[in-house]
Amino acid sequence: MASYDAVVIGAGHNSLVCAAYLARAGRKVLVVERRERIGGAAVTEEVFPGFRFSVFSYVVSLLRPEIIRELELPRHGLHILPLESTFTPLPDGNYLAQWNDHDQNRRELARHSLRDAEAYDEFGLMLHQMARAVKPLLAMAPPDPTSLSFGDLMGMKRLGEHFRGLGVKRFSMLTKLLTMSSADFLDEWFESEPLKATKSASGIIGTLLGPRSPGTAYVLLHHYMGELDGVFRAWGFAKGGNGSVTAAIAGAAQAAGAEIRTAAPVAQVLVKHGRARGVLLDDGEEIGAKLVVSGADPRRTFLGLVGEQHLPGPFVDSIRRFRFRGSSAKVNLALGELPDFAALPGRGPHLRGAVSISPSVDYLERAYDEAKYGEYSKRPYMDIVIPSLLDPQMAPPGKHVMSIFVQYAPYQLNGGWTDARREAFGDTVVDTLAQYAPNLKNAILHRQVVTPADIERIVGLSEGNIFQGELSLQQMFFLRPVPAWAKYRTPVSALWQCGAGTHPGGGVMGASGRNAAMQILGRS
Amino acid sequence: MASSYELSHEREYHAIRSAAALLDVSPLYKYRVRGKDAARLLHLVVTRSVEDMKVGQVGYTPWCDAAGKVLDDGTIARLGEREFRMTAAEPNLRWLEDNAVGLDVSVEDVSDSLAALALQGPASRIILEEIDLKYFRIADTTFRGIPVQVSRTGYTGDLGFELWVRKERALALWDALIEAGTPYGIVPAGMLALDVARIEAGLMLIDVDYVPARKALIDSQTSSPFELDLAWTVNLQKERFVGREALAAEAARGPQWQFVGVEIEWQSLERLYAEVGLATRLPATAWRTSVPIYSGGEQAGYATSGGWSPLLKKYVALAHLQSKWAAPGTGLEIEITVEHRRKRAGARVVKKPFFDPERKRG
């Protein structure tokens, strides 16, 4: 039986980050991946000849700058290209664009509302301060307020001091962000519908919640984190697609001595006398290790790979109740020509940023209403990018790839997902977008539709939840994934978790992987 | 040269590193040097060897005054046995003519009649129809029917070419390149983007990183090629060239100053900003000011240009350091202004170029 200091289950970005830090600390590390390729949900695949797609996750927005620096990811091929703008076409033929350039942006906003144009800067400043207030929490193992252990008490004390240092005004703003719906929160700042809708959309990504559901304001902040780093620019589009992000992390891990095996699905975590001893692969091979780190989500890890018999009953109950409810789908299009938006025709700079189908808060909430009752949205929210405009190598010369992130497509669809319903959903997405870009249908050369059921089947994310569990307040911080087990440890000794199902959660962030490694190494 | 063609230079910079950028470098000074003694003249003027250059070869070189101090730097292309083209950042006609006394050579200023476009970036070769041209070589060709000379040269440290064309055809060439390059993501780029790229490439800029000897008000402002990390361009085997004696003497005693790469340490920056309650701020464009660098209580030297590398995610600078502090890995401190106050951030001497992709020469 081969023996390692640590075997890491899965080769998604968090697993690879964790493996890289462990290997850099001199540990003998093996990463085992079920698929024939590394990357988890951050992969680039040539789905159609010449057309390369970030099949699942499609932008870099939250990747922690300290990980980029410490693992020297640029040296391993990471090149983040800027996404410049957000363009929201409207059904009445108008549009709202948000530009990078301050004055250009202000002039555009003023076209819709002079008040909003003024409020925009203040809003940005407020979010910046809030993000700074929350940022220290990202890099720490969350202290447990219910625990009386010295470490937890000290952690809570530090946290208390941190929050007291914010002052009353900022602390009350933070409280609002933690409790309000994104729509209500934005109502306090803006009046223009497309602006509110487009901004509130970042509060609903990955959740089965609507913009008027309480708690979504925090998710909005979660997504703003990446912008805090300003010129460092940790957000944008990874040249070569999101597969190049995980390839760079894997490069860093391998350079530090970690081994990576693909097409090596784990059947179970070997547990003896309450302690993890290694893993058993599907083909019967046993790999011994002093510790096992799972990058799989909590349900898969505990109910699938460990088994209930090795776990306390209440813990198993909590894991069963951990909510996934995947609600996001992807439609990837190979295009013969660029989409031509009726609201802003031609090949302008608006095509180089995100295109958001979010004309009003009502539009988004209606899209959610259908999902609530088990149907996909007939008029869905979409976040669209055209990576080939930023990185022409993603498509043959003159041709393009389009990535459409769609909500809502509930995992628990009435009657379940079938091939026919997947394609019908794809038609709905294309039909909706074609109302804004009439040439779209004729431009489509190939189409790939990825539902939450597909995400679960291909990548192994339970219920296709892109964050390894909903980013809702009752599943955040010291509650992620389960109270008392939020510090990357598990009830099984020598078994650790490092996936996005732990604090601070999802997005191609890597913080869970790094925090887990720091805990394992006894650094905090 | 334009600063940028868009409101921000950011996309132009990334085009240089990930697709292709087109830059109008026509403002360069260009001299056509022809005649029986053309090679002799240039051999006499510049520090590197010219007489043994092959036809079709291009060489980068500085040239010095009699005291061995750099006057300017540029490229020399051998277009024929008896014909060269020299590029320069400053006017040099008088200097060339003064040195040509008694030689059978004609020097013609073709700065205005000859345009130059730089096509730089990983997609530049495919846009030029997979042109087969080695690093620092030049060839006559046509691009979409337009006669051009193409050299595998540039100022970005990336795969790239410079196209030399009669001014009457320059606009047509620009349009043809944009058209051919559009499927590959070509973007017109200006000086702001180029400045970031050339710093990453460790390439110095006249008037910024060194004062040309002709403009120096005091001797200490001048630099020798050795002090600019250009020892590799100085061929002391040559019997005669301007500045030879002074340079030979300096080579023997070793230069007092060296021109090096410096990396400013992130943790140190972050700490300085955190002390005043701010997130780390980075410059959005490259800077071109003289910034003191210290070793303990002593001033070890000064940086002359620097900036944030969006690709490497590193804050880098080009600096002049006294030789004893110039070894790679040496820990130093660089002055930085944080909220109106002068602070010192940790910095480290690193090897230039900061960025050196295989494709540049490959």
Kindly state the average pLDDT of the residues B271-293: 95
Residue A184, in any domain of the structure: no
Asked if A166 has any chain B CB less than 8 Å from its own CB, the reply is no
Over residues B59-116, the pLDDT tens digits come to 999 999 999 999 999 999 999 999 999 999 999 999 999 999 999 999 999 999 999 9
Phi then psi for A492, rounded to 5 degrees? -95, 125
Domain that holds residue A303: 2-42+57-79+238-323+461-520
Residue A51 reports pLDDT greater than 80: yes
CATH number at residue A514: 3.50.50.60
CA atoms of A433 and A338, how far apart (whole Å): 13
Question: Which of A68, A69, A391 lies closest to B18 in CB terms?
Answer: A391
A432/A87 Cα distance (integer angstroms): 16
What are the tens digits of pLDDT across the range B214-245?
999 999 999 999 999 999 999 999 999 999 99
Write out chain B residues lying below 8 Å of A229, CB-based: 279-280
Measured CB to CB, residues of chain B less than 8 Å from chain A are 6-8, 10-11, 14, 17-19, 123, 182-185, 266, 279-284, 308, 310-314
How confident is residue A2, by pLDDT bands cut at 50, 70 and 90?
A: low
Name chain B contacts of A132, Cβ cutoff 8 Å. 279
Is A167's pLDDT higher than 80?
Answer: yes
pLDDT band at residue A132 using 50, 70 and 90 as cut-offs: confident
Q: Determine whether the interchain pair B14/A69 forms a contact, defined as Cβ–Cβ distance below 8 Å.
A: no
Question: A229 and B279: CB-CB below 8 Å?
Answer: yes
What is the model's pLDDT at position B58? 98
Question: What's the CATH class of domain B219-223+256-350?
Answer: mainly beta
Residue A257 near residue A243 (C-beta atoms within 8 A)? no
Q: How many CB atoms lie within 10 A of CB B65?
A: 17
Report if residue A268 sits inside a domain: yes
Place of tokens 């470490």: A151
Q: Would A20 be classed as within a structural domain? A: yes
pLDDT computed for residue A1 by the predictor: 56
**Is residue A104 scored above 90 in pLDDT?**
yes
Tell me which chain A residues have a C-beta less than 8 angstroms from the C-beta of B282: 230-232
Q: Does A347 touch chain B (CB under 8 A)?
A: no
Task: Please determine, for residue A110, whether its predicted confidence score (pLDDT) is greater than 90.
Answer: yes
Query: Who's near A302: CB < 8 A, 6+ residues apart?
Result: A308, A311, A315, A316, A319, A490
Tell me if A178 is assigned to some domain: no
**Of A100, A391, A398, which is closest to B8 when you measure between CB atoms?**
A100
**The pLDDT of residue A17:** 98
Cβ of B279 within 8 Å of Cβ of A74? The answer is no
What is the rounded average pLDDT of the residues B298-303? 98
Q: What gap in Å lies between CA B213 and CA B64, rounded to an integer?
A: 8
Residue among A100, A230, A352 minimizing CB distance to B279: A230
Domain borders along chain B are: 10-200, 219-223+256-350
Question: From B312, which residue of chain A is nearest by alpha-carbon distance?
Answer: A74
Q: How far is A397 from chain B (nearest CA, A)?
A: 5
Q: How distant is the Cα of B18 from the closest Cα of chain A, in angstroms? A: 7
Chain B contact present for A397, CB below 8 A? yes
Contact A233 B310 (CB under 8 A): yes
Tell me if A432 is assigned to some domain: no
**Average pLDDT score over residue span A171-176:** 89
Q: Does A170 touch chain B (CB under 8 A)?
A: no
For chain A, what is the domain count? Answer: 1
SS3 A189: coil
Q: CA A205, A211, A216 angle in degrees (round to 5)? A: 65
Q: Which chain B residue shows the shortest CA-CA distance from A400?
A: B183
Whether B219-223+256-350 and B10-200 are alike in CATH topology: the answer is: no
> Across residues A8-31, what is the average pLDDT?
98
The secondary structure of residue A236, as a DSSP letter, is B
Cross-chain Cβ contact B123/A398 below 8 Å: no
- Residues A210-269 have pLDDT tens digits of 999 998 998 888 777 776 677 777 778 999 999 999 999 999 999 999 999 999 999 999
- Kind and range of the H or E element at B28? none
- Which residues does B59 contact at the CB level (< 8 Å), separation at least 6? B48, B50, B53, B75, B76, B136
In a domain, A175, yes or no: no
State the complex-level ipTM: 0.91
For residue A375, is it within any domain? no
Given an 8 Å threshold on Cβ–Cβ distance, is A239 in contact with B310?
A: no
pLDDT digits over A291-335, tens only?
999 999 999 999 999 999 999 999 999 999 999 999 999 999 999
Average pLDDT score, chain A:
93
Coil, strand or helix at B85: strand
**Chain B residue with the nearest C-alpha to that of A103:** B7
For residue B222 the two structure tokens come to 């001048």
Q: Sorting pLDDT into bands at 50, 70 and 90, what band is A524?
A: low
Confidence of residue A371 (pLDDT cuts 50, 70, 90): very high
Contact between A74 and B14 using a beta-carbon 8 Å cutoff: no
Q: Is the pLDDT of residue A273 over 60?
A: yes
Cβ–Cβ < 8 Å for A190, A196: yes
Of B14, B184, B283, the CB nearest to A81: B14
DSSP code, position B74: E
Closest chain B residue to the Cα of A396, Cα to Cα: B183
Coil/strand/helix, residue A183: helix
Per-residue pLDDT of A415-449, as tens digits, reads 999 999 999 999 999 999 999 999 999 999 999 99
List of residues 6+ apart from A428 with CB closer than 8 A: A376, A377, A378, A380
Span of A263-267, A384-388, A476-480, B164-168 with lowest mean pLDDT? A476-480
Decide if domain B10-200 falls under CATH 3.40.1160.10.
no
Count contacts between A and B (CB, < 8 Å).
Answer: 64
**Candidates A69, A389, A392; nearest CB to B313:** A69
C-alpha span between B112 and B118 (Å, rounded): 17
| DSSP character at residue B317 | E
Contact at CB, B308 and A231, closer than 8 angstroms: yes
